[in-house]
């Protein structure tokens, strides 16, 4: 078993393997890490759709699907992620390990070739651009995805909140781009985004499975070694600035249940990333958290109340679904729980429950190739160690560290999505 082995394949191209005999499939992912920029985000995002249904070698959806079927039902798909101020395009293929084929067959190598064909040798028309019809279809699907975000009011509220809290920072931008930018996309924009991605993105290729990674590595080394690359993108690692004032934004929309999101700034917290996870868990990331037990159950102030954090941005976010008349009480209750930990710390029982909850999550991370793949990729981008190392750090967190972290939280932004007509209201008050 080898959990993490990383080596360079070329300029700005690295290959990382994670081998565990218990896995029955091999998962190979290509991550292109790019700057998240408003004028490029939507053009980059549409690529995640364009490369998963055809390529020059298999130019139709039927031919492409038949090839995946021939590889024992292999699956190939794309995705878009946002990590701090970075936009990440990922392309993944999953295939059963060679040892499970009915007859001797190099399935891993063939799947790696297909993934490279999809990304490096896509279907282009006689003008050298992506076919107009397929481009317009994927453009519309991307636009529909962005517009449909309003249907999930919780996700919409969190997205709007981030636009407010991180205004002027990379964290305010959508990973898919804005609707108007998507509408204005052209095949030329997509072609330029593809060429820019190949020439300058930071490229991380991961292999997670039971074996045959050498065959895959050889394919990726050869195919990516043929690229001409220059001015390789360097990761953005900007944290959120501490607030001078508390920003308050209220947005009206026909909603049955108001959505309240409260953001807290912490300052640099990369070295305390594990402790911040524990604090977030104690406050609102588990069924035994203070937000759930006290605010939802005992006080019946909201339908849900959760907490999430990012040590790399130095923030913690609490969000809840609440009746409009209970908004102020819910905000005060969230603050009260934070102040309580800052003043008196957490109980030994609370800490033990949070540690067990997170330890279980750490242990289960290796259960699937997808979770393990993502763990290793984020480890490369955001730091951190092996699962065993992170587990050891978890056991070192003590109540005093939790108390001090809670004391550093400073209210930054309060966003409310609620019923009532009228224009969006914006006001500031002193922190």
Kindly give the interhelix angle for 107-120 and 213-225, rounded to the nearest 10 degrees.
20
pLDDT above 70 covers a percentage of the chain that reads 97
Domains 2-225 and 245-430 share a fold: yes
Span 2-225: which CATH code?
3.30.830.10
Q: What is d(CA 28, CA 131) in angstroms, rounded to the nearest whole number?
A: 27
pLDDT, residue 312, reads 85
Q: Which residues pair with 13 in a beta bridge?
A: 10, 203
- Shortest CA distance to 83 belongs to which of 12, 34, 40? 34
- Kind of pairing, strands 86-96 and 25-35? antiparallel
CA-based nearest residue to 96, from 212, 270, 9, 190? 212
Neighbours of 6 (CB within 10 A): 15
Question: Which DSSP symbol is given to 375?
Answer: H
| Cα 210 to Cα 91: distance, rounded to the nearest angstrom | 20
- Give domain 245-430's CATH architecture: 2-Layer Sandwich (3.30)
Q: What pLDDT digit, counting tens, does each position of 25-50 carry?
A: 999 999 999 999 999 999 999 999 99
Tally Cβ neighbours within 10 Å of residue 103: 4
**360: Cβ contacts below 8 Å, ≥ 6 apart:** none
Average pLDDT, the chain: 93
The interaxial angle of helices 273-284 and 348-364, nearest 10 deg, is: 110
Annotated domain spans of the chain: 2-225, 245-430
Judging by DSSP bridges, how do beta strands 258-265 and 410-418 pair with one another? antiparallel
Burial of residue 152, with CB atoms counted within 10 A of its CB: 0-12 exposed, 13-18 middle, 19 or more buried: exposed
Other C-beta atoms closer than 10 Å to the C-beta of 183 total 12
- How far, in Å, CA of 33 to CA of 88, rounded? 5
DSSP string, 74-119: -EEEEEEEEETTEEEEEEEEEEE-GGGSSS---HHHHHHHHHHHHH
Model confidence at 420: pLDDT above 80: no
267 versus 19: the higher-pLDDT residue is: 19
Tens digit of pLDDT for each residue in 68-98? Answer: 999 999 999 999 999 988 999 999 999 999 9
Q: Give the model confidence (pLDDT) of 342-389 as tens digits.
A: 999 999 999 999 999 999 998 898 999 999 999 999 989 887 778 888
Note the pLDDT of residue 426. 39
From first CA to last CA, the distance across the chain in angstroms is 51
DSSP 292: I
Mean per-residue pLDDT for 4-16?
95
What contacts 24+ positions apart, CB below 8 Å, involve 236-239?
236/35, 236/36, 236/84, 236/85, 236/86, 236/170, 237/84, 237/85, 237/312, 238/84, 238/85, 238/169, 238/170, 239/267, 239/268, 239/312, 239/313, 239/314
pLDDT of residue 15: 97
């Amino acid at each position: 078993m080898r959990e993490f082995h990383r080596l360079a394949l070329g300029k700005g191209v690295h290959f990382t393997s994670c081998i565990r005999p218990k896995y029955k499939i091999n998962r190979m992912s290509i991550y292109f890490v790019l700057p998240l920029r408003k004028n490029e985000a939507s053009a980059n995002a549409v690529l995640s759709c364009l490369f998963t249904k055809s390529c020059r070698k298999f130019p139709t959806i039927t031919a492409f699907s038949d090839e995946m079927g021939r590889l024992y039902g292999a699956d190939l798909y794309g995705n878009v992620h946002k990590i701090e101020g970075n936009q990440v395009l990922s392309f993944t293929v999953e295939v059963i390990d060679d040892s499970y084929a009915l007859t001797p067959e190099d399935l891993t190598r063939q799947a790696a070739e297909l993934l490279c064909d999809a990304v490096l040798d896509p279907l282009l028309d006689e003008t050298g651009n992506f076919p107009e019809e397929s481009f317009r279809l994927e453009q519309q699907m991307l636009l529909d995805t962005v517009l449909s975000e309003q249907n999930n009011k919780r996700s919409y509220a969190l997205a709007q909140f981030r636009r407010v809290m991180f205004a002027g920072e990379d964290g305010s931008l959508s990973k898919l781009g804005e609707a108007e930018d998507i509408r204005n996309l052209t095949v030329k924009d997509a072609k330029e985004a593809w060429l820019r991605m190949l020439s300058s993105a930071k490229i991380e290729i991961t292999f997670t499975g039971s074996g045959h990674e050498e065959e895959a590595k050889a394919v990726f080394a050869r195919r990516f070694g043929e690229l001409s690359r220059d001015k390789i993108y360097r990761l953005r690692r900007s944290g959120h600035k501490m607030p001078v004032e508390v920003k308050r934004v209220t947005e009206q929309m026909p909603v049955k249940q108001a959505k309240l999101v409260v953001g807290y700034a912490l300052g640099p917290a990369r070295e305390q990333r594990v402790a911040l996870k524990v604090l977030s868990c104690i406050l609102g990331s588990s069924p035994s958290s203070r937000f759930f037990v006290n605010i939802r159950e005992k006080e019946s102030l909201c339908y849900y109340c959760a907490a999430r954090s990012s040590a790399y941005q130095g923030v913690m976010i609490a969000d809840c679904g609440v009746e409009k008349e209970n908004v102020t009480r819910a905000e005060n209750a969230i603050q009260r729980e934070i102040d309580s930990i800052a003043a008196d710390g957490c109980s030994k029982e609370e800490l033990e429950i949070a540690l067990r909850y997170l330890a279980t999550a750490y242990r289960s991370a290796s259960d699937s190739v997808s979770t393990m793949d993502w763990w290793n990729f984020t480890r490369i981008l955001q730091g951190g160690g092996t699962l065993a190392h992170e587990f050891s750090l978890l056991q070192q967190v003590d109540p005093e560290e939790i108390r001090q972290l809670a004391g550093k939280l400073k209210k930054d932004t309060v966003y409310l999505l609620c019923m009532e007509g009228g224009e969006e209201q914006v006001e500031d008050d002193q922190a």
